Structure 1
Amino acid sequence: MRLRHLAFSLLVFSGLARADVDLTDDQGKPVHLAQPARRIVSLAPHVTELLYAAGAGERVVGAVQYSDYPEAAKKVARVGSYTAVDMEKVVALKPDLVVAWKSGNRDAHLDKLRGLGIPVFINEPRKIDDVARSLSQFGRLAGTEAVAEPAAKAFRERYAALAARYSARPKVRTFYEIWNRPLMTINGEHLIADVMRLCGGENVFAKLPVLAPAIDVEAVLAAQPEAIVASGMGEARPEWLDDWRKWTKLPAVARGNLFFIPPDQIQRHTPRILDGAERLCGQLEEARERR
């Protein structure tokens, strides 16, 4: 009896392991896997982090430069950068799935991989809740739903709690500075703009047509933001954030609302986006108190 039960269990398990996976990616393209992926190459740092958060970290055999979170991701073989993928290295890793980033990877590279018969899944999160959706998708692709679904649920619950606390607060006109030379910001379609909305911030450049446009100082002065938020390149506050202090009549300067958030907490489409959101929400609360 025990042997029959064991045989039945093994049959069920093997059937699940071989179960087809059919998903539509964020570009609207169907992706079919004969079974959950076992060898995954990630072509963006945020994708690598999401795969680990979805319980698929042990299946990531290749990743691009700056895939540095969690710590284990640093040990994964490198296949170039997201803008300059080393195709030979990718193919040599014999992946059964490549997860790519539409905004960062080149179409020519992705088309070549598809031409070689390698399934490519495009990830393109634009809203905060897209992080939870990505976790669920990656869990299905790798067969790690037991980890991915609770992670997605926990993310949505934390997101809802922040929204309940901050989204209806009085609006704060906010300028987000990605970089200083060239001076760059984000429009209303960017993930960071969604974080602003969560915190009751109003993106002063929301109506610009480009996702991450270059602007000039005069445009910022004309927009009269109450808060300026910068990210920079690492954990240290960028020195160029203080360049705005020369414009003493700018509300953000006059009220001392020059804020910094580490880029990994607000520019990556991962669960850590809520760490950045919590920080931004607190900063905009300070701005309201200084009115």
Structure 2
Amino acid sequence: MKYKKNLILVLTLLILFTGSTLIKAASYPIKITDDLGRQVLIKDKPHRIISLAPSYTETLFTLGSEKELVGVTKYADYPQAAIKIQKVGTIKEPNLEKIIQLKPDLVLAAEITPERIINRLDQLGIKVIGLGPQNINEIIETIEIIGRATGQWQEANDLTTDMKNRVTRVQKLIKKHLEKEQRPKVFYELWNNPLYTAGPDTFIDNLIYLAGGINIAQNALGKWPQYNTEVLLAQNPDVYFIANRDEDINKKKQEIESRDNFKNIAAIKNNKIYFFNPDIVHRAGPRIVIALEKMAKAIHPKKSLK
């Protein structure tokens, strides 16, 4: 009996160890279908990676691929170590010459990376993976793709499993809460003068829905529309979200309340104004689940999300 127990224990440990090793050890070559619909064949583990979006830079650091990261965009500032890495232009205007000079064997391109940049890198034989997640599930899939491409299978699996579990947990709590109450109307202010917001087919719109709210701009024209103040007042949101990085919160609240007719908005009258670090909400990376949890807590403050 004792022998059988020991044998079972050894076999269990062997299976666990082997399974973990299989996930962690990347097998090359691998073929990846990117968000541009392209088949990208990666023959070997990349050793010189360039990230053309701050969110992918953050993901690479989280997965442990920072040593292979040789180039990032101007505003890649998280984690702090990313600031020291060679800059290759902005997310909208990458510097092709600098990219080529760094001799990358893998470039992670953003949704707004100019097509001419991608085409030229393709011509030079540099592997480019185009990524453009539109919702939280696609953000998780993007992290999995980056993990596969860089050989960080185990790390990506651990990270995305945790993210999926946290999303599921929020969803269960919100579903239970919405059995008794309706979804509050939410407005997300990207910019004030002029007023801009997040429209349909954006992961901010997706976050608001998953957090148990309704984005009043969900039917607006365009992903990042300029929003009419009169329409905002007529929609009368219950919750008001604001992208705010450095401004004093109390001063910002006073400024909002002083806007014409804003005191008549339900969210303003009921002090349902919440500020979000745009680096967490606007970047399609690992911290997006933090944004979801914070939004859910703001929209449904009486529901425990601890």
TM-score by length of 1: 0.87
CA distance 1:127–1:197, change in 2 (3 Å): same
Cα separation, 2, equivalents of 1:106 and 1:238: 40
2:264 is the counterpart of 1:249: yes
In structure 2, what residue type is equivalent to 1:45?
P
Aligned length: 273
CA deviation vs aligned residue, 1:143-181 (integer Å, no higher than 9, x gap):
111211111111111111111112453301000001112
Query: 1:243 offset after TM fit, Å?
Result: 3.6
Cα separation, 1, equivalents of 2:255 and 2:226: 17
Query: 1:207 offset after TM fit, Å?
Result: 0.8
Query: 1:221 offset after TM fit, Å?
Result: 0.8
Query: 1:244 offset after TM fit, Å?
Result: 3.4
Q: Is the 8 A contact 2:242 2:275 kept in 1?
A: yes
Unaligned 5+ runs, structure 1: 1-12
Cα separation, 2, equivalents of 1:278 and 1:144: 26
Unaligned 5+ runs, structure 2: 1-21
CA distance 1:106–1:160, change in 2 (3 Å): same
Query: 1:279 offset after TM fit, Å?
Result: 1.4
Q: Is the 8 A contact 2:63 2:155 kept in 1?
A: yes
Match of 2:114 in 1: 106
Query: 1:238 offset after TM fit, Å?
Result: 8.6
Q: Percent identity?
A: 28
Instruction: Spell out the pairing of 1:146-185 with structure 2 (5 A cutoff).
Output: 146-167=154-175, 168-169=177-178, 170-185=182-197
Query: 1:105 offset after TM fit, Å?
Result: 1.8
Query: 1:190 offset after TM fit, Å?
Result: 0.7
2:290 is the counterpart of 1:275: yes
Match of 1:218 in 2: 230
1:125 pairs, out of 128, 133, 140, with: 133
Query: 1:53 offset after TM fit, Å?
Result: 2.0
2:244 pairs, out of 232, 245, 248, with: 232
In structure 1, what residue type is equivalent to 2:81?
A
CA distance 1:39–1:114, change in 2 (3 Å): same
In structure 1, what residue type is equivalent to 2:290?
D
In structure 2, what residue type is equivalent to 1:279?
K
Cα separation, 1, equivalents of 2:218 and 2:134: 14
Instruction: Spell out the pairing of 1:190-201 with structure 2 (5 A cutoff).
Output: 190-201=202-213
Query: 1:235 offset after TM fit, Å?
Result: 7.3
Match of 2:277 in 1: 262
Query: 1:237 offset after TM fit, Å?
Result: 3.6
Query: 1:98 offset after TM fit, Å?
Result: 0.6
In structure 1, what residue type is equivalent to 2:118?
L
Q: Is the 8 A contact 1:232 1:238 kept in 2?
A: no
Cα separation, 2, equivalents of 1:92 and 1:114: 15
Q: Is the 8 A contact 2:212 2:300 kept in 1?
A: no
Cα separation, 1, equivalents of 2:145 and 2:221: 29
Query: 1:209 offset after TM fit, Å?
Result: 3.0
CA deviation vs aligned residue, 1:80-99 (integer Å, no higher than 9, x gap):
11112111111011001110
Q: RMSD over aligned Cα, in angstroms?
A: 2.1
Query: 1:131 offset after TM fit, Å?
Result: 2.2
Moved more, 197-206 or 18-27: 18-27
2:39 is the counterpart of 1:27: no
CA distance 1:110–1:179, change in 2 (3 Å): same
Moved more, 230-239 or 258-267: 230-239
Query: 1:225 offset after TM fit, Å?
Result: 0.7
Q: Is the 8 A contact 2:26 2:148 kept in 1?
A: no
Query: What SS does the corresponding residue of 1:174 show, helix, strand or coil?
Result: strand
Q: Is the 8 A contact 1:228 1:259 kept in 2?
A: yes
Match of 1:36 in 2: 45
Query: What SS does the corresponding residue of 2:214 show, helix, strand or coil?
Result: strand
2:59 is the counterpart of 1:50: yes
Cα separation, 2, equivalents of 1:18 and 1:226: 51
Cα separation, 2, equivalents of 1:245 and 1:287: 25
Cα separation, 1, equivalents of 2:186 and 2:302: 10
Match of 1:74 in 2: 83
Cα separation, 2, equivalents of 1:237 and 1:113: 44
